[in-house]
Amino acid sequence: MKLVATLLSAVIICSTISLSAQTNNVQTCMLSCPSNMVVKSDAGMEGALLSFPASASLGIGDCGTITYSRPNGSFFRIGSHSVIATTSFGQKCFFTVTVTDNEPPVLSELTLSSKRLSPTNKMKKVAVYYSASDNAQVVTSVLSVSSNDPDANNRDWQVVNNHLVRLKTTPLASGEARVYTITVNSRDGAGNMTKRSTSIASKSLASIFGTEDATVTVQPVHQ
């Protein structure tokens, strides 16, 4: 009986030593997330599809299974987002994904309801047709007018709204045609901007009295 008891004690001691050795060989998990990411939105999209490093590569030691709070290849909208990595044992780390909007608005060609201004004693209404859109942000468009008159003032034209202007139709004091440049600036919420311009002219005094061709060609100006 003493021999049996001695052998049993030896087995228990050996098992304890073996378990202790295994326990000491287990490495504590060291979890490290990827660096913060800043990416541009995909063309024509209000965000971007993103891939992260393999989750298994984030841990050193016994981390079990590591999962992301957002699946790899997820779509992230424009703005900032936190992504959390979690181990099977509850350890966590996080990093930030920021998607920026670097795409300017799409602004169509400008077309006018009139191709030239016939001289009258009244201001002439001219409609300005265009459309503006963006991949994600709200677009704000502003219409402005300038002319070739060195003495021009606000009485020569009036911006009624972003699609309608009123223009003085008489020639310049020199007798030359009065030329207006109409410009539209479209800007999105991120500050990206697209600008287009077009022109319209009155008749010159010479053309009014039939001494030259009065035809005026309107050419959109791309900027």
Written as tens digits, the pLDDT of the chain (223 aa) is 444 444 344 444 444 434 343 445 568 899 999 999 999 999 999 999 999 999 989 999 999 999 999 999 999 999 999 999 999 999 999 999 999 999 999 999 999 999 899 888 789 999 999 999 999 889 999 999 999 988 877 789 999 999 999 999 988 888 889 999 999 999 999 999 999 999 999 987 766 665 444 333 333 434 4
- Compute the distance between CA of residue 167 and CA of residue 196 in angstroms, rounded to an integer: 19
Residue closest to 165 by CA, chosen among 178, 184, 139: 184
Q: What pLDDT score does 207 carry?
A: 67
- Bridge-based pairing state of the strands 157-161 and 164-167: antiparallel
Cα separations in angstroms, 50 against 75, 94, 119, 170: 6, 16, 60, 59
- Compute the distance between CA of residue 64 and CA of residue 56 in angstroms, rounded to an integer: 9
Whether 78 and 100 have beta carbons less than 8 Å apart is answered as yes
- Compute the distance between CA of residue 170 and CA of residue 200 in angstroms, rounded to an integer: 13
Helices (H), 45-174: none
Q: What pLDDT score does 27 carry?
A: 82
Q: What pLDDT score does 26 carry?
A: 62
Q: What pLDDT score does 79 carry?
A: 95
Q: What pLDDT score does 206 carry?
A: 63
DSSP designation for 44: T
Q: What pLDDT score does 34 carry?
A: 94
DSSP designation for 123: P
Q: What pLDDT score does 214 carry?
A: 36
- Compute the distance between CA of residue 65 and CA of residue 181 in angstroms, rounded to an integer: 65
Q: Go through the domains of the chain in sequence order and give each one's CATH number.
A: 28-100 (2.60.40), 106-222 (2.60.40)
Q: What pLDDT score does 51 carry?
A: 93
- Bridge-based pairing state of the strands 92-100 and 124-129: unpaired
